[in-house]
Chain A
Amino acid sequence: MTVMDQTFADRDYSLTGPESDAAVAKGLASADWYHSDVPRKEMKALMRRSDAAADRDTVLWIGLLVLTGCLGVLLWGTGWAVLFFAAYGVLYGSACDSRWHECGHGTAFKTEWKNDAVYHIASFMVMRNPIAWRWSHARHHTDTIIVGRDPEIAVMRPPDMVKLVLKFVGLPDAYFDLKRLGVNALGRLTADELEFIPESERGKAVYWARVHVGIYVATVVVALVTWSWAPLLLIGGPRIYGCWHMVLMGLMQHGGMAEDVLDHRLNSRTVLINPVSRWLYWNMNYHVEHHMFPMVPYHALPALHARIKGDLPAPDRSIVAAYRAMIGALLRQQREPGYAIRPVLPATARAFREDLHDLDVARGGA
């Protein structure tokens, strides 16, 4: 039996439960992953860093944030304000995720301080502790969708469809993210955070949580003093009313795909999407490619896709097509939690390394 069609009891997705030890015992933790072959010379060209694309995109992003935010406030009380805040919300509450992600990898800009500056701004916008999430994301890349190891599994099985729909309006995520920042600001880290943040970095995590919480408290004070919603619509609020595009993109990354495999072609999804979404999402729709080669900057991902597509499953042709497949899989996983979409590889693709995937991961009750 492969991991694709097994049935199993509810899993423990925490990083401190029995699934974590089981993953280690099965050789799924910190394992070697499948990589498509790309000659070193070509890979070096794909990995090459430059400030040009991210400079342009960041000036445009900040310019649009200032423009839509100012117009929203100036036209307060008119229907135009709704329109401008809707745009501002997506630029803040959704585009922040991809900026956080790429600058966290340090690949968006060639200049390091630019990566760091945008990373911290975007971490604040997306309500993530910049230190904790840097380490959480490193673990996500080490053990992508390995249950008990990966702290960033967005869709746990069996999927809770109501929870998934609520994510589009930031619930309950924004609440839990804020709560976690509050806990960190009090000097405490969660059990999972203690699992992946090294001791030397924990003080920094507390420091940045305090900075974030301080800004939120100041925003609430200004809102109360001015007796206006505007400060909350400008700071913090977009994580709720503008996050829908981030969730729309984020769920596609791994939703409905395999758990506990060592091949990103099986647990990640590449989707061809419209140019506006690609700009907001900084090309992370090429998600298989990103996971296979995290050194390749976002602006080179379309070229990487073109280079290795013969070794990858055909991408979903649109957001609608991806969601159609994913929702079908998620509904089926409610009845059969062991079910996962099994992508079809082209004839030119290298083998799946079935030896790695034919692991017995049946859990208690299976």
Chain B
Amino acid sequence: MAWVDVCAVDDIEEEDVIRFDHGERTFAVYRSLEGDVFATDGLCTHEQVHLAGGLVMDETIECPKHNGRFNYQTGAALRAPVCEALRTYPARVSGDRIEIDI
């Protein structure tokens, strides 16, 4: 695992998500309403759709394809049609940058 630079803190609005591609992999990086940062796999566990097109509400991310929901802070699957949890990764703010540990 290694810390990887993602973007400036201000590049993600509060209560929002962006897509972050690194090598062959894709991630979703979140900023909560409180300003904390989080990271998960970028693709929904239901049908491999990019979660970055979805809606962040409180601690949940809603997938843009079938409205399945995850807790993006724990990865838990909250609403069908998602059944399988999402993998999460440590994320932190370093200076004015967001980094994730992948």
Contact = CB atoms under 8 A, between A and B. Distances in A.
A132 B81 CA distance: 11
B66 interface: yes
Contacts of A105: 67
B66 A141 contact: yes
Interface of A: 30, 40, 44, 47-49, 105-107, 110, 112, 134-135, 138, 141-142, 198, 200-201, 293-295
A134 B62 contact: no
Given A49-B57, A295-B54, A201 B80 contact: yes
Given A44-B55, A47-B55, A49-B57, A294 B64 contact: yes
Interface string B15-33: 0100000000000000000
Given A134-B80, A135-B81, A201-B80, A142 B67 contact: no
- By secondary structure, the A interface counts as helix
Contact of A295 (B46, B67, B79, B80): B67
Interface residues of B, number: 17
Contact of B62 (A30, A106, A142): A106
Interface string B65-78: 11101000000000
Interface in B42-96: 46-48, 54-55, 57, 62, 64-67, 69, 79-81, 83
Contacts of A294: 64-67
B80 A141 contact: no
7 nearest interchain CB pairs? A138-B66, A138-B81, A47-B55, A106-B67, A105-B67, A295-B64, A295-B55
Contacts of B79: 106, 112
B92 to A, nearest CB: 24
Interface of B: 16, 46-48, 54-55, 57, 62, 64-67, 69, 79-81, 83
A38 to B, nearest CB: 10
Given A44-B55, A47-B55, A142 B65 contact: yes
A202 B26 CA distance: 32
Contact of A106 (B16, B46, B48, B69): B69
Query: Looking at B69, B79, B80, which has the most chain A CB atoms within 10 Å of its CB?
Result: B80
A200 B83 contact: yes
B65 A141 contact: yes
Contacts of B47: 30, 142
Contacts of A44: 16, 55
Contacts of A40: 16
Contacts of A134: 80-81
B83 A142 contact: no
Query: Looking at A40, A138, A200, A294, which has the most chain B CB atoms within 10 Å of its CB?
Result: A138
Nearest to A35: B53
Contacts of B48: 30
Given A138-B66, A295-B62, 13 more contacts: A30-B47, A44-B16, A44-B55, A47-B55, A49-B57, A106-B69, A110-B57, A112-B79, A134-B81, A135-B81, A141-B66, A142-B65, A201-B80
Nearest to B80: A134
B55 A142 contact: no
A51 to B, nearest CB: 13
A353 B64 CA distance: 21
Nearest to A40: B16
B54 to A, nearest CB: 7
A198 B68 CA distance: 14
Contacts of A112: 79
Contacts of A200: 83
B58 to A, nearest CB: 10
Contacts of B64: 293-295
Nearest to A49: B57
A141 B44 CA distance: 15
Contacts of A135: 80-81
A142 B62 CA distance: 16
B57 A142 contact: no
A158 B66 CA distance: 30
Given A30-B47, A47-B55, A142-B47, A107 B67 contact: yes
Contacts of B55: 44, 47-49, 295
